Chains A and B, each alone.
Chain A
Amino acid sequence: MKNNEEKGMSLIVKTVTRWLKGFIFLFGAYIVVFGHLSPGGGFPGGVVFAATFILLTLAFGREYALRKIGKILASELDSLGAILFLILASLGIYFTGIFFSNFIEKFHPSGNFKLFSAGIIPLCNISIGMKVGASLFMIFIILSVVRVIFEDGKGKLITTEKKDKK
């Protein structure tokens, strides 16, 4: 199997990726954090996060990206985002008695359109972004660790995952 040894793409792609990955991640973070003031929010920002890691996977090969953010860490981030969103929703019951109620102070003292305003909306945006980004990256990992080899007229499924259980 030649495909197991090849590590990513050519030198040009790797260099450009090394320069660009930080900017793409920063753009995703900007979209998530300013989601309540400008176009954007948790969903587009999460997809941009996932695109960053998928770019790393495509350019440097699977092992590099999995070393940066492992499968366990991705699933933990996924679950953490969901639980954070649920906790934020449930805290509304504790403070005001209504599920999903906006219990934090909604306005900055010096007026509207500040970063720290809108109550729980920025926090919910961050948790949703975490959840969506980790989920989509998980999908890509799942699809890339398992591949089907076509030989002798029969498809055969092999996994290139490390056998950590057995």
Chain B
Amino acid sequence: MIEIVIGVLLVFMIIGSIICLETRDLLSAIIAIVPVGYFCGIIYLLLGAPDIAITQMVVEVLSLIILIRATIRRDLTTIEEERDFFGLVSTFALIFVFFIFGMEAMRHLPPFGTPSFTLNPSAPSNRYLMMGLKETGAGNIVSSVILDYRGYDTLGEATILFTSILGALALLRVYARKRGKK
């Protein structure tokens, strides 16, 4: 039952992303990507991940605001011309090769509904689920994995966020400083 619901939502996501990529108006394209993210959040909720559903919903709103900042008061309609024939063919050849390899890889995955940690008794998730409450005292196992078992990842994530903001600031400040010198 849940597979059918998730499948229908995924089809909606695919339709939304096609509309987003093929429409001519840039503002419509940006607005068309928001339902894709909301469907993604609903799927997270169905799959038993409420943490990620909350994050996805709020991040979607912020990404809409940031993307609209990029296109507001610009020339909004775009003229989408065809690329030259050779480029288009080579792109589709690349996508086709990618498709073949992806299908080959996906045949070896376990079926939907049986995560790999149930098949492998030495997987780390077994320990997280069994001993998580006893070892960290936190009821939310995801939170204990982020901040206790795998704290290095979170430290790296904070570094990446800091670096991206630094990059944005550096890219936008250069011109202003040059004008100030004149």
| A/B touching: CB–CB < 8 A | yes
Please indicate the chain A residues that have their CB under 8 angstroms from the CB of B165 in the complex.
78, 135, 138-139, 142
Residue in B55, B148, B168 whose CB lies within 8 Å of A44: B55
- Which of B133, B165, B180 has its CB near the most chain A CB atoms (within 10 A)? B165
**Interface majority SS on B: helix, strand, loop or mixed?**
helix
Report whether B147 and A120 are in contact in the complex, using a CB–CB cutoff of 8 Å. Answer: yes
Q: Assuming the A-B contacts A54-B65, A100-B148, A142-B169, are A135 and B140 also in contact, with contact meaning beta carbons closer than 8 angstroms in the complex?
A: no
Please indicate the chain B residues that have their CB under 8 angstroms from the CB of A39 in the complex.
50-51, 54, 140
Report whether B139 and A102 are in contact in the complex, using a CB–CB cutoff of 8 Å. Answer: no
Instruction: Bits for B3-42, please: 1 = Cβ < 8 Å to A, else 0.
Output: 0000000000000000000000000000000000000000
Give how many B residues have a beta carbon under 8 Å from the other chain's beta carbons. 42
Please list the residues of chain B having a beta carbon within 8 angstroms of any beta carbon in chain A: 50-51, 54-55, 58-59, 61-62, 65-66, 69, 73-75, 133, 135-140, 142-144, 146-148, 151-152, 154-155, 158, 161-162, 165, 168-169, 172, 175-176, 179-180
Please list the residues of chain A having a beta carbon within 8 angstroms of any beta carbon in chain B: 31, 35-44, 47-48, 50-51, 54, 58, 78, 81-82, 85-86, 89, 99-100, 102, 106-107, 112-113, 117-121, 124-125, 128, 131-132, 135-136, 138-140, 142-144, 146-148, 150, 157, 159, 161, 163, 165-166
